[in-house]
Amino acid sequence: MASTVKGAKAPKQPLSLNDPRVRGLIYQVVALAAVAFCIWYLASNTIANLEARRIATGWGFLNREAGFAIGEGLISYGPADSYLRALVVGVLNTLRVAVIGIILATLLGTIIGISRLSQNWLLAKLASLYVEVFRNIPLLLQLFVWYAVISELFPGPRQALNPLPGIFLSNRGIKFPTPPDAAAFDYAGIGFILGIILAVVVANWARKRLYATGQTFPSGWAGTGLIIGLPILGWLIGGAPTHLDMPEMRGFNFVGGGSLSPEFAALLLGLVVYTAGFIAEIVRSGILAVSRGQTEAALSLGLTKGQNLRLVVLPQALRVIILPMTNQYLNLTKNSSLAVAIGYPDIVSIANTTLNQTGQAIEGVAIIMLVFFAISISIAMFMNWYNKRIALVER
């Protein structure tokens, strides 16, 4: 009396190589084992060979005294410090040029990208010329040119150009006055940060009110006022000191004040000018990707050209722009390693010196790769998060 029960499970098949799931599993296990074996083989053979040739290995060198000096850095460092600290100086120098470079390249690139679409014939042609020239010359060459321009064109420190009181231009870089260690300047700094936070708060409130009531609020002006006004207020509260730490020529070079080295300036200029060419094209293509009907609709609603660009076109263009822009940010960061050629002490330069002084090439190269991997992945993750956020707001 055989009867089929509805909903019964299919009978269990014996495990067979004819089952595609089983085959898939086997392939994956085999592939994984092959990769693991390769890694194990390379690692163990490397270690064995390094030992056979009596080449020093390991990370012990990080705590040894580095013994070499570094031209510039964000934290204090001297030859008596460890290799680890020297490497940290290098990482911070890389981050410094990458972060400032990304901000400036974005600003410059956006301006040029919009200029290329301008109805002003001269402006549009100049922007096209810029893009074609700087995008098509190798970056390394541009770096050499900027470096040569700075070190050949400017006079020595004793004949430094002095365009404004306290500012000196020479082939040792730009020297400028800095605020001394006084409470008033700390207050001003706090005021600046507070101003930015309040400006964001005001902008958010204004937008909510606009959606709720339709009333507009000049949040742009209010924000600018806060960002400029609060630091001035802080400075006034601190007693409004006017004394600045001035650079002064003494012996070989300037003492006091702040300075921007020619190496940093050349590298930053090169990276910004080169990357801005690519960013300009990305911005232009992003704007062109927004259909013309959108603009016509916005203008017929009575929005001004500026409002149209800011409220209608750019938010939609951003969706197209973000992903290729991420590539450019990653490129700029990785290209900063060309610093070695002109002597800016970035992580590649310092890790190279370290691996040469210690003879531990594998560790040195591993450090460089790890640092760039970490920076790149951070940028990519941030940009992906931003991309998602933009996409959500749109829908």
Partner 1 sequence: MKARILLAAAASVAVSFAAPAFAGATFDAVKARGSITCGVNSGVAGFSAPDSKGEWTGIDVDLCKAVAAALFGDASKVKYVGLTAQQRFTALQSGEIDVLSRNTTGTLTRDTSLGLNFVGVNFYDGQGFMVPKKLNVKSAKELGGATVCVQPGTTTELNLADYFRANKMDFKPVVIEKLEEVIAAFFSGRCDVYTTDASGLASTRATSAPNPDDYVILPELISKEPLGPMVRHGDDQWFDLVKWSLYAMIEAEENGIDSKNLDEMLKSTNPVVQRILGVNGDMGKALGVDNKWAYNIIKTVGNYGESYERNVGSGSKLKIPRNLNNLWTKGGLQYAWPVR
Binding site for partner 1 (CB under 8 A): 42, 45-46, 48-50, 52-56, 67-71, 78-80, 148, 151-152, 156, 171-172, 250-253, 255, 262-263, 337-338, 340-343, 345, 348-349, 352-353, 355-359, 361-362, 364-365, 368
Smallest gap from residue 187 Cβ to partner 1 (A): 32
3-state secondary structure of 175: strand
Q: Identify which of residues 32 and 255 has a Cβ nearer to partner 1 in the complex.
A: 255
- Three-state secondary structure of 219-232: HHHHHHHHHHHHHH
CA distance 77 to 376: 26
Q: Identify which of residues 90 and 234 has a Cβ nearer to partner 1 in the complex.
A: 90
For 324-355, the DSSP string reads: HHHHHHHHHHHHGGGGGGGT---HHHHHHHHH
Smallest gap from residue 243 Cβ to partner 1 (A): 24
CA distance 197 to 195: 6
Q: Identify which of residues 279 and 332 has a Cβ nearer to partner 1 in the complex.
A: 332
Question: Cα separations (Å) of 285 from 102, 132, 134, 137?
Answer: 19, 15, 18, 22
Contact 97, 268 (CB under 8 A): yes
Residue 3: is it exposed, middle or buried by C-beta count within 10 angstroms (0-12/13-18/19+)? exposed
Q: Identify which of residues 95 and 365 has a Cβ nearer to partner 1 in the complex.
A: 365
Smallest gap from residue 346 Cβ to partner 1 (A): 10
- Phi-psi map region of 29: left, alpha, beta (phi>0 left; psi -120 to 50 alpha): alpha
Smallest gap from residue 94 Cβ to partner 1 (A): 13
Closest CA to 95 of 383, 384, 385, 374: 374
Task: Provide the β-strand partners of residue 164.
Answer: 167
Smallest gap from residue 167 Cβ to partner 1 (A): 19
Smallest gap from residue 124 Cβ to partner 1 (A): 36
CA distance 25 to 385: 34
Q: What is the β-pairing status of strands 167-170 and 253-255? A: unpaired
Amino acid at site 16? S
Q: Identify which of residues 128 and 151 has a Cβ nearer to partner 1 in the complex.
A: 151
Smallest gap from residue 369 Cβ to partner 1 (A): 9
Smallest gap from residue 265 Cβ to partner 1 (A): 12
Q: Identify which of residues 338 and 371 has a Cβ nearer to partner 1 in the complex.
A: 338
Q: Identify which of residues 334 and 389 has a Cβ nearer to partner 1 in the complex.
A: 334
Q: Identify which of residues 220 and 359 has a Cβ nearer to partner 1 in the complex.
A: 359
CA distance 280 to 276: 6
